[in-house]
């Protein structure tokens, strides 16, 4: 027997077995899984009435809203391809994505009407625009709720080819134009199974949707949390007070986010005023974590803190660093924290290696640096309409991530840096992440980023850019002395600069490229 793999099965399961349970909370609006499922059916019907055919791309420009969560099932039910767009990109980049994807319909939140008005005239092919939580007019031919109200609820879903593209996520474009990552029905389905098992989620869990759903498939939460019948709580805009209020109000049990998000929460004056006793697990990803952050999360939030790793190109979750129970009683506390702050082990269904420049496995000594390569059903079908870029990243059956790491005798993989962020000083490879982790141990450091700067003697040297915590003064000399205590001499930053803030992407990642650029003005190349 062959049954095509489709994430629509997860929605149908939630409707059947958890139909009366509240499955989605967005502000003052709550939807049971039965109501949520009906809205996804209506969305599929509405898209067909707008002329959407199997294989067409449907784009969304919005926050973490219930409408975007509905699209994760309504769009594939219509046989179309879901394309959530990063709302923090420049207008020109968003226009490029809409053209490159060939979007048939664009649904946008009313807050982004000025953005749509700016980019709509520039598009090569004009899509149909639909406004959410606003009035039609201008570039919007229709309004979301009116479309759903007029749509059918019982139309049969489109036939599923599990190897066809189901979702299209564009990378942030830090190394050029954004590239479209094509994910198939099969990849998304298997990713949900693998991730749900690895993260140990159940129908009792309530997840706060902190990670933007446009960011690397929302880390898969729209699929695997629905699959188990858990509850989604939507967070439209992050700030620590709103975050903590929702955790307390809805008894949130599971959190996923990048390190800067959790750092902001832990250092918020609002933390002590809110009840967060419902929390069980925190998963940190999107950027390397540190043992100091893991310790703070466990001690101050009372959770088990984990680290995960993945990319847009891998659906995304590849690894998770669960503490191994038989080692918890025997390993020193600091070693346990280092294990949990590492990239961890690959989840079931993922083959992962760390290889040198000749694609040979590095030594399992936790020291030799290499690139992470993976092989799995969750790897992308390819970069949309970019065969050369696809061939460059998937070679000999392995996807090359560009992330540099080590692995040890017990199989723990630890990311040291992105290949482009490795600092080569006097022939020595220096990990910017290692220096950042050392700085984060200092009690006065709120945020930091380490970048390469040119140097006439050593080629390039590490420079640390540091934001101090309020009312926690520290001098540059004190921070340098701290680094000398925790790092080998050649790894100590050649200088430290104190900053008021550090630039971040829309998903909370530190923009190292933007920080690095001023140091290299006047140089023809970004290596020296």
The pLDDT value given to residue 229: 98
User: Looking up tokens 């902001």, which residue turns up?
Assistant: 264
pLDDT in tens, 240-262: 999 999 999 999 999 999 898 99
What confidence tier does 419 reach under pLDDT thresholds 50, 70, 90? confident
β-bridge pairing 206-209 and 254-257: parallel
Mean pLDDT confidence for 91-101: 95
What confidence tier does 527 reach under pLDDT thresholds 50, 70, 90? low
Q: 326 CB contacts (<8 Å, ≥6 apart)?
A: none
What confidence tier does 267 reach under pLDDT thresholds 50, 70, 90? very high
Mean pLDDT confidence for 281-300: 92
What confidence tier does 329 reach under pLDDT thresholds 50, 70, 90? low
Q: 42 CB contacts (<8 Å, ≥6 apart)?
A: 74, 147, 148, 149, 151, 152, 153
The pLDDT value given to residue 174: 46
Q: What are phi and psi of 461, to 5 degrees?
A: -140, 155
Q: Are 166 and 191 in contact (CB under 8 A)?
A: no
**What domains can be seen in the chain, in order of their start residue?**
33-184 (3.40.50.12780), 238-418 (3.40.50.12780), 430-520 (3.30.300.30)
Flag whether pLDDT at 206 surpasses 60: yes
Q: To which H or E segment does residue 77 belong? A: helix 66-77
Flag whether pLDDT at 133 surpasses 50: yes
The pLDDT value given to residue 509: 83
What confidence tier does 482 reach under pLDDT thresholds 50, 70, 90? very high
Percent of the chain with pLDDT over 70: 97
Cα(401)–Cα(111) distance, integer angstroms: 35
The pLDDT value given to residue 427: 67
DSSP assignment, residue 504? B
Q: 502 CB contacts (<8 Å, ≥6 apart)?
A: 447, 448, 449, 465, 467, 510, 511, 515
What confidence tier does 233 reach under pLDDT thresholds 50, 70, 90? very high
The pLDDT value given to residue 429: 76
pLDDT in tens, 343-385: 999 999 999 999 998 999 999 999 999 999 999 999 999 999 9
Instruction: Outline where 348-475 has alpha helix (H).
Output: 387-393, 432-440
Range in 88-92, 211-215, 242-246, 381-385 the model is least confident about: 88-92
Q: Are 315 and 187 in contact (CB under 8 A)?
A: yes
pLDDT in tens, 150-160: 999 999 988 99
The pLDDT value given to residue 173: 52
pLDDT in tens, 486-513: 998 889 999 999 999 999 887 788 899 8
CA separation, residue 137 to residues 131, 310, 325, 350 (Å): 9, 40, 59, 48
Cα(418)–Cα(363) distance, integer angstroms: 19
Cα(432)–Cα(512) distance, integer angstroms: 10
pLDDT in tens, 20-55: 999 999 999 999 999 999 999 999 999 999 999 999
Cα(233)–Cα(237) distance, integer angstroms: 12
Mean pLDDT confidence for 427-442: 88
Mean pLDDT confidence for 97-112: 98
Mean pLDDT confidence for 393-413: 93
- Regarding predicted confidence, which is higher, 161 or 290? 161
Cα(120)–Cα(137) distance, integer angstroms: 13
The pLDDT value given to residue 327: 60
């Amino acid at each position: 027997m062959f049954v095509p793999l489709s994430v629509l099965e997860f929605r149908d399961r939630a409707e059947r077995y958890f139909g009366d349970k509240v499955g989605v909370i967005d502000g003052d609006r709550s939807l049971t899984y039965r109501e949520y499922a009906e809205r996804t059916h209506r969305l599929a019907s509405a898209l067909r009435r707008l002329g959407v055919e199997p294989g067409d791309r449907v784009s969304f420009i919005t926050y973490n809203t219930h409408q975007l969560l509905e699209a994760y099932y309504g769009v594939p039910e219509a046989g179309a391809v879901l394309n959530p767009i990063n709302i923090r990109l420049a207008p020109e980049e968003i226009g490029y994505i809409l053209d490159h994807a060939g979007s048939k319909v664009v649904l946008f939140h009313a807050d982004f009407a000025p953005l749509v008005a700016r980019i709509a005239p520039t598009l090569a092919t004009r899509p149909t625009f639909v406004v959410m939580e606003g009035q039609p007019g201008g570039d919007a031919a229709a309004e979301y709720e009116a479309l759903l109200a007029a749509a059918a609820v019982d139309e049969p879903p489109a036939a599923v080819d599990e190897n066809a593209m189901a979702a299209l996520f564009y990378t942030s474009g830090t190394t050029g134009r954004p590239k479209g990552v094509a994910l198939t029905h099969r990849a998304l389905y298997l990713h949900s199974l693998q991730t749900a098992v690895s993260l140990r989620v159940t129908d009792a869990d309530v997840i706060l949707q902190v990670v933007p759903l446009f960011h690397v498939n929302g880390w898969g939460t729209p699929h695997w949390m629905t699959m188990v019948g858990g509850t989604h709580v939507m967070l439209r805009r992050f700030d620590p007070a709103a975050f903590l209020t929702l955790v307390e109000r809805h008894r949130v049990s599971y959190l996923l986010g990048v390190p800067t998000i959790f750092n902001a929460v832990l250092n918020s004056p609002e933390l002590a005023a809110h009840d967060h006793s419902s929390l069980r697990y925190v998963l940190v990803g999107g950027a390397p974590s540190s043992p100091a952050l893991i310790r703070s999360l466990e001690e101050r939030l009372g959770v088990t803190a984990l680290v995960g790793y993945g990319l847009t190109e891998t659906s995304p979750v590849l690894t998770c660093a669960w503490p191994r129970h038989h080692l918890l009683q025997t390993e020193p506390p600091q070693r346990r924290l280092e294990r949990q702050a590492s990239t961890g082990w690959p989840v079931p269904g993922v083959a992962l290696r760390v290889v040198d420049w000749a694609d040979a496995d590095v030594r399992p000594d936790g020291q030799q640096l290499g690139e992470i390569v993976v092989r799995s059903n969750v790897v992308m079908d390819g970069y949309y309409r970019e065969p050369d870029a696809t061939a460059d990243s998937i070679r000999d059956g392995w996807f090359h991530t560009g992330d540099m790491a080590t692995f040890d005798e017990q199989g723990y993989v630890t990311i040291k840096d992105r290949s482009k962020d490795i600092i080569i000083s006097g022939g020595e490879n220096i990990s910017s992440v290692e220096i950042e982790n050392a700085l984060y141990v200092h009690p006065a450091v709120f945020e930091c980023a380490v970048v390469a700067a040119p140097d006439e003697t050593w080629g390039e040297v590490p420079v640390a850019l540091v934001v101090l915590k309020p009312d926690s003064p520290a001098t540059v000399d004190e921070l340098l002395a701290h680094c000398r205590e925790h790092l080998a001499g050649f790894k100590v930053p050649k200088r430290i600069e104190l900053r008021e803030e550090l630039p971040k992407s829309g998903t909370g990642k530190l923009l190292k490229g933007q920080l690095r650029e001023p140091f290299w003005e006047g140089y023809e190349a970004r290596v020296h």
